[in-house]
Amino acid sequence: MAKVKRDEVLSKITPDEIDDVVLPSLKNKKSAPEEKEIKNNEATTKKLEEEANIKKEPKKSLKEVLEKVYAEEITEEIKKTPKKENTKPVFDRKFVARKISKDKIFVLLFLFIFIGIGVYSGVQIVLWKIDSDKTIEQIDMINETVVVEEIEDTDATEIINPPSEDDPVNPYWDYIKMNLINVDFTNLLQINDDTKGWLQVNGTNINYPFVQTTDNEYYLNKDFNKENNSSGWVFLDYRNSVDNLDRNTILYAHSRINGTMFGSLKNIFKSDWFDDVNNHVIKLSTLTENTLWQVFSVYTIPTTSDYLQIDFSSDEEFLEFVMMLKDRSRYNFNVEFNATDKILTLSTCLNDKERVVLHAKLIKKEVRVND
């Protein structure tokens, strides 16, 4: 292997390099015959140089000659080596381009979603405002055209299930002294033939006519004029009858942020509402009678329907139902019950998961005289 390498090196040394560098470096190491042979080679080389008119280059050291040879070898190897395509920059550019493209898509998608939510929310706010304004206009119109008057008791006034007279401090005796209300429904029936009565709750904004239809869905999105309106209207449970009161009569309405419909019913949880005993009564006027109700329970509860029962198989079941409602109350109203009592329920939303509920029992009524 060494001999082959040496031969390759020597084959690439020029005659001048042999004459000027290699031979002198080997003189001291050669024998006499070898020196003679070298001299003959020198003579031959000199003759060839003269014939070829070769111009001698400056003398070089052995180190320079070898460096030149190896440099030439390395150059040849490099030339023979296949060039690899430099794809890294291209790959990097494509990767960066893809990353930028993905980032742009994400940003644009987020932007579109954000704008979409903003537009949707804006539209909903505008629609809510339009519906609320329409509702307020209807309430104002009703209050201007409908006569709601308080009436004193007459011989026809009936006290319902009074407590024992041995309990003179019972607030019942104060409540039954309050006047009933009487409403002229003539104009209301011309506007909406579903009109069934009028509801008034002290300490709140609730002072509206109420309606009834064949289900509990229609008036969730219809106003008193039967036009589409997210405010809806106050309505009586379709299962109930105002002509012959059930054991549990139920009224519903939306809890509007602006306080309309049952939006102010949550006022019942304020201490000043409870402290004013005048707030503990509810007044109803229907086409057939005027009634007064004493509040006995107010509470909030996760959405359930267990307080919406209207039919009971026995007196015991009804009294158990009433005790359940009393136990839920945030306040103690000191109200007594018997199996012949009738109750009124007001129900509305507090939020998506909870309800605000008020219950009252009938304490006084008067049959209406035909106008």
Q: Are 203 and 217 in contact (CB under 8 A)?
A: no
Question: What DSSP state is assigned to residue 314?
Answer: S
Q: Name which of 3, 17, 19, 26 is nearest 69 in CA terms.
A: 17
Name the catalytic one among 86, 349, 361, 367: 349
Phi, psi for 295 (deg, rounded to 5): -65, 135
- Rg of the chain (C-alpha set): 53
Q: Which residues contact 223 (CB under 8 A, 6 or more apart)?
A: 131, 134, 135, 138, 229, 231, 232, 233
Side-chain half-sphere CA neighbours of 317 within 13 A: 10
Q: Name which of 238, 226, 255 is nearest 138 in CA terms.
A: 226
DSSP string, 89-143: HHHHHHHHHHHHHHHHHHHHHHHHHHHHHHHHHHHHHHHHHHHHHHHHHHHHHHH
CA distances from 342 to 119, 216, 235, 238 (A): 49, 21, 19, 17
Distance in angstroms (rounded) separating the CA atoms of residues 200 and 206 = 6
Distance in angstroms (rounded) separating the CA atoms of residues 17 and 23 = 9
Q: Are 273 and 282 in contact (CB under 8 A)?
A: no
Q: Are 358 and 346 in contact (CB under 8 A)?
A: yes
Q: Name which of 358, 327, 328 is nearest 343 in CA terms.
A: 358
Catalytic status, residue 349: yes
CA distances from 49 to 9, 27, 96, 225 (A): 21, 21, 64, 125
Helix (H, G, I), strand (E, B) or coil at 301: strand
Which residues are known catalytic residues? 349
